[in-house]
């Protein structure tokens, strides 16, 4: 039972790390927090159970069992998997996002696209504005009254206001946070 709890706890924490949470379309900050709490509690309880069983087995019974090593192996495998597999990020998605932005700026068709997966990122809306900017709204970036994403703005830097903040990410890219009230 301890091994099963450990495997499930590590799987939940890896799911949160990789932004892949089953039964949740686009996980937000609160979704991740719930996943971290559930995975952390499950893993913590399992590790306490493992420690008690291990101390009993080695201290009172004075024998070794290979079952003792199973839980640490699962935890170490989870840590290694977390280090090897990285969640999708702007850096890895940028070339594909730039292709979408350039394509949208060069066409006369619709000024928006919905529900895209671009370079592993879930984008709820891509919108071409009349000022020559293309906004990418992060599907995971809608929390309460806050919207997050990136804007491709070749040639001119977007200017923020109180509710709209921009930060330069690279050459022609800026991240944004909009507070909607």
**Interatomic CA distance for residues 59 and 9, integer angstroms:** 27
Give the residue-averaged pLDDT of 130-157: 82
Q: How confident is the model over 77-87, as pLDDT tens digits?
A: 999 999 998 87
pLDDT at 73: 94
Going across the sheet that includes 146-152, the strands are 112-118, 121-128, 134-138, 146-152, 173-179, 164-170
Q: What is the DSSP-derived secondary structure letter of residue 172?
A: T
pTM here is 0.68
Q: In this structure, what are the phi and psi dihedrals at residue 178, rounded to the nearest 5 degrees? A: -115, 130
**Interatomic CA distance for residues 107 and 128, integer angstroms:** 10
Q: What are 138's strand-pairing partners?
A: 123
Nearest-10 Cα torsion for 24, 29, 32, 36: -160
Task: For the chain, give every domain's residue range.
Answer: 2-84, 90-179
Q: How confident is the model over 20-71, as pLDDT tens digits?
A: 777 665 666 777 788 899 999 999 999 999 999 898 888 887 777 778 889 9
Better-scored residue on pLDDT, 112 or 22: 112
Q: Which residue has the tokens 């809306």?
A: 125
Q: Closest Cα to residue 9, out of 101, 77, 85?
A: 77
pLDDT at 26: 60
Better-scored residue on pLDDT, 25 or 131: 131
């Amino acid at each position: 039972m301890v091994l099963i709890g450990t495997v499930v706890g590590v799987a939940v924490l890896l799911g949160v790390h990789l932004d892949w949470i089953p039964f949740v379309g686009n996980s937000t900050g609160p979704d991740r927090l719930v996943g971290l709490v559930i995975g952390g509690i499950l893993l913590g309880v399992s590790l306490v159970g493992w420690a008690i069983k291990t101390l009993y087995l080695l201290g009172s019974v004075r024998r070794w069992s290979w079952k003792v090593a199973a839980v640490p192996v699962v935890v170490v495998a989870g840590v290694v998997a977390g280090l090897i597999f990285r969640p999708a990020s702007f850096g890895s998605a940028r070339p594909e996002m730039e292709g979408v932005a350039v394509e949208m700026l060069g066409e006369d068709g619709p000024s928006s696209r919905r529900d895209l997966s671009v370079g592993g990122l879930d984008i709820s809306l891509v919108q071409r504005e009349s000022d020559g900017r293309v906004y990418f709204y992060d599907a995971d970036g809608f929390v309460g009254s806050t919207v997050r994403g990136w804007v491709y703005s070749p040639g001119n830097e977007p200017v923020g206001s109180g509710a709209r903040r921009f930060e330069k990410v690279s050459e022609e890219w800026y991240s944004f946070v909009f507070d909607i009230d």
